[in-house]
Structure formats: C-alpha cells, structure tokens
Amino acid sequence: MNEILPGVHHWTARHPKIKIEVSSYYLSGEKTLIDPLVPAEGLDWFAGGVEHIYLTNRHHYRQSGDFQRRFGCDIWCAEEGLHEFKHGEKVRPFRFGDKLPGGVEAVEIGSLCSDETALLIPKGAGLVALADGVVREGDGPLGFVLDEYMGDDPEADKAGLREAYRRLLRRSFDTLLLAHGWPIVGTGKKALEEFITAKEMGP
C-alpha cells in the first residue's frame, strides 16, 4: 500500500481471473475505493471505513462485493454496464455527467465499451481515473490495450479513445490513476497528451 498523494492510496494485486497484477485506489478522506481488489494488508487496513466504490467499467467489479459485505458501502457503475451484474450484485447506476458523492464527475469515454468511464476527482490539482483504454506495464510508457481486447475494429476503437482523451485534456488534472499499470503522479496530463500526439502522428 503506497500513499501516492495525501489521502490517495495505491496498491496492486493479482487478479484472480485474468492472473495479472492490476491497480486499485483508496481515497481515505472520501472513504472511496476505485476498482478494488483486496490488498495484501486485508480488509482490516480500511479501519477508517468505506462508503463508496466507483467502477471505471463493469469489468472492474473485482472484489467489490467483499468490501460491500464488510462495510455496507455503495457500489457505482455506469448504467450502460449494469447488464453484467446477474448474480445478486448490488450495484447502483450513474449517468455520464453525473456528480457522484465526493464531487467525482463521471465522464463518458464512448469507445472500447459502452460503459467505459473516466472519473474526474477534484482532489489536489485534480485526478483522473481511467479504465481499460490506456494501460502501462508497471511504470513504463502509456499504450493502448492490446487489439485482442478491443472490438471488431480496433483502429476505430483507438480513434475513439484518442478523441475522448483529447476532450479530457481540456479538464483540470495532473495525475492519472490507471486500472492497469502504476499511476502517473503530477505529470499525468502531460503523459496522456504526449501519448495521444504520438499516436496521431503514427509510426
């Protein structure tokens, strides 16, 4: 468990289904989790409590149910992704553009999947949590998710993601919280802009 900014905690854990390390986050002041797996420290680490869990897309439910059973917290996902939850999961819907508890804004990405969401978090100089569109290997450079995890037309998905991220760059933030890969603290906006620019210029 690492505190990457005051009140912003990051950890990685091995996803039980896809068998790779993924990232999760806890905003301690807001008592909010993003895309959580249970950390090595266990649920007891969250002695301050958990009130809300935000999913950046429906596939990131992960171990949210464990937290909900322990803390009675609300789990939130874009309404377009609620069809995923058919086994009694208690998930509340949000609409793109909604302001969620803690002032978090749900921003539509509109590519890769219908519920792909960016979460704009008004904390410090601004944080953005991204789902699956852009990833990195550990602390390596940003990259698109592999084509095999995209739709029938990966190039169209990539174009849609670039457009969505261009819109996101108009907002105020400096840190990226990635679901796949380490966060980029302080220079996240610059890194995202450089990534998009490089992809638009081509090889």
State pLDDT tens for residues 58-97.
999 999 999 999 999 999 999 999 999 999 999 999 999 9
State pLDDT tens for residues 110-125.
898 999 999 999 999 9
Q: How far apart are CA 28 and CA 98, in angstroms?
A: 22
Q: How far apart are CA 134 and CA 141, in angstroms?
A: 10
Q: How far apart are CA 35 and CA 117, in angstroms?
A: 12
Predicted model pTM: 0.94
Q: How far apart are CA 15 and CA 21, in angstroms?
A: 6
What mean pLDDT do residues 18-24 have?
87
Domains along the chain with CATH numbers: 2-95+103-201 (3.60.15.10)
Is residue 166 within a helix (H) or strand (E), and if so which, with residue range?
A: helix 154-168
Higher pLDDT, 152 or 95: 95
Structure tokens at 144: 């698109």
Q: How far apart are CA 145 and CA 172, in angstroms?
A: 25
Tell me how many degrees the CA angle 87-92-95 measures, rounded to the nearest 5. Answer: 125
